[in-house]
Amino acid sequence: MSRHYAVFGHPVSHSLSPRIHAAFGKQAGIAIEYSAIDVEPSGFDAALQDFAARGGAGANVTLPLKEAAYALCSDTTERARRAGAVNTLIRNGDAWHGDNTDGVGLVRDLTERQGLDLRARRTLLLGAGGAARGVAPALLDAGIGDLFIVNRTPARADALADMLGQPGRVHVRYLDDLRNLGEFDLVLNATTAARDGGSFPTLPRSLLGRRSAAVSLSYGEAAIPFLAWARAQGAHESIDGLGMLVEQAAESFARWHGTRPDTDRIYGELRAESARLVTAD
């Protein structure tokens, strides 16, 4: 039986993961069969069982299934446990082993590709879902300063702060508090408002200064509203999630195949295509 890999999400037709893993496989001389599987949360368990029965050996998991994936794993890595979310599944006998490569992917992109020094940066994290859970522990490990979490549903922000377990360094605030929080060195958007078809929330200008960096965990059209806002406020850097996507994929590939691919070529290709699309518009 051939070994299959896939990305699960809803929606998932926009995903670049199949192309990225095909490029990694070509680079490593490994034949890759990697598909995109669209499934709603209610059908995820059954879809994953069917995938395993058809020879599924590993999978990536994107929104809105990362926390559900964590619950379906028989064992997980420490970084997945710290996040309470899984974006990488590895078949282990008759069970799934879960990992989370989002955080290391984000930090690697920001520090090594974008050249940001994250140390002591006063940071605002917008969102508290699976994507936010995946990156928050890694940001703290990278040495950011105080982390403020703001989410539309306060209970989810509280749960994320409790999970991170660093009172005095991690703070929960609410949407109405944003205008009173002052300026941040780093603002990350982990919300799904633009992706889900909703309107991007109005954010106060005071959040960003001339030395601030604004980072979207999304890429493509879903990242545009937040990054446009950041540029309009004069942010020093405005960065989308394309680099994070490529770097977390490389970490997943290494978990499955035992070799970590070079990411520069596929990132360069995707970035060039993205620039051409913006120019065409």
User: How sure is the predictor about 165, in pLDDT bands with cuts at 50, 70 and 90?
Assistant: very high
**What pLDDT is stored for residue 28 in this prediction?**
95
Of all residues in the chain, the percent with pLDDT exceeding 90 is: 91
Domains with residue ranges and CATH for the chain: 4-101+248-263 (3.40.50.10860), 103-242 (3.40.50.720)
**What pLDDT is stored for residue 281 in this prediction?**
39
- Reply yes or no on whether the pLDDT at 198 is more than 70: no
102-126: pLDDT as tens digits: 999 999 999 999 999 999 999 999 9
127 is in an annotated binding site: yes
**What pLDDT is stored for residue 280 in this prediction?**
43
37 membership: H or E segment, kind and range:
strand 34-38
58 is in an annotated binding site: no
126 is in an annotated binding site: no
Do residues 240 and 219 make contact, with C-beta atoms less than 8 angstroms apart? Answer: yes
207 is in an annotated binding site: no
Between CA 80 and CA 70 the distance in angstroms is 8
Least confident of 131-145, 240-254, 262-276: 262-276
- Greater model confidence, 280 or 217: 217
Between CA 171 and CA 128 the distance in angstroms is 12
**What pLDDT is stored for residue 202 in this prediction?**
84
Catalytic positions, please?
Answer: 66
Burial of 10 (0-12, 13-18, 19+ CB in 10 A): middle
User: How sure is the predictor about 276, in pLDDT bands with cuts at 50, 70 and 90?
Assistant: low
- Reply yes or no on whether the pLDDT at 279 is more than 80: no
- Reply yes or no on whether the pLDDT at 197 is more than 90: no
Between CA 208 and CA 212 the distance in angstroms is 6
- Reply yes or no on whether the pLDDT at 2 is more than 80: no
Mean pLDDT of the chain: 94
